[in-house]
């Protein structure tokens, strides 16, 4: 049985002064920590999903992914700055310390905050909502563990982020 490790988030958020959408995960998976960027597991549907939403090509490299986010005015970060975690298991997160998202909210015209999955949403409501005072919308997780949601069903649910944008 794996033991929990006390970890600190290994990479910064991606955003700029034009970001309008803020998507928050919980904490990076083992694969994401290895590649030092968000949604690094090849089976995670995040990149394919956002590419479909924006009718764009799914980015592959970290550089392409960062450019994709900025081009489409998406800020990407995680709720947790450090925690005790077993592997990639969100359900094992303990001793969580939240990230401070106030610099993003102060530096960009964020129109909507969304969480990628229930764990990120629960952690957001517990740690960040009292500080920020802005509700987040919980979107179904793009994780391969969320097999109950087909790609088409995920895409339909995630379309809400496109309705948040300015014209």
CATH of 5-162, one of 1.10.287.3510, 1.10.3720.10, 1.10.10.60, 3.40.470.10: 3.40.470.10
Residue among 102, 94, 103 nearest 131 (CA): 102
Beta bridge partners of 14: 76
Q: Name the residues annotated as catalytic.
A: 44
- Please tell me which residue, 89 or 84, carries the higher pLDDT value: 84
How much of the chain exceeds pLDDT 90, in percent? 76
- Please tell me which residue, 89 or 50, carries the higher pLDDT value: 50
């Amino acid at each position: 049985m794996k033991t929990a490790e006390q970890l600190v988030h290994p990479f910064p958020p991606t955003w700029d002064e034009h970001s309008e959408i803020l998507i928050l995960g919980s904490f990076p998976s083992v694969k994401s920590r290895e590649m030092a960027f968000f949604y690094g597991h090849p089976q995670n549907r995040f990149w394919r999903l956002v590419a479909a939403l924006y009718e764009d090509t799914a980015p592959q490299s970290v550089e392409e992914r960062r450019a994709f986010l900025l081009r489409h005015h998406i800020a990407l970060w995680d709720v947790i700055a450090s925690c005790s975690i077993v592997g990639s298991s969100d359900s094992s997160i303990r001793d969580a310390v939240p990230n401070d998202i106030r610099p993003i909210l102060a530096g960009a015209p964020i129109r909507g905050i969304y969480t990628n999955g229930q764990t990120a949403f629960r952690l957001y409501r517990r740690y960040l909502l009292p500080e920020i005072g802005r509700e987040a919308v919980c979107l179904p997780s793009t994780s391969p563990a969320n097999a109950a949601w087909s790609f088409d069903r995920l895409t339909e649910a995630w379309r809400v982020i496109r309705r948040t944008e300015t014209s």
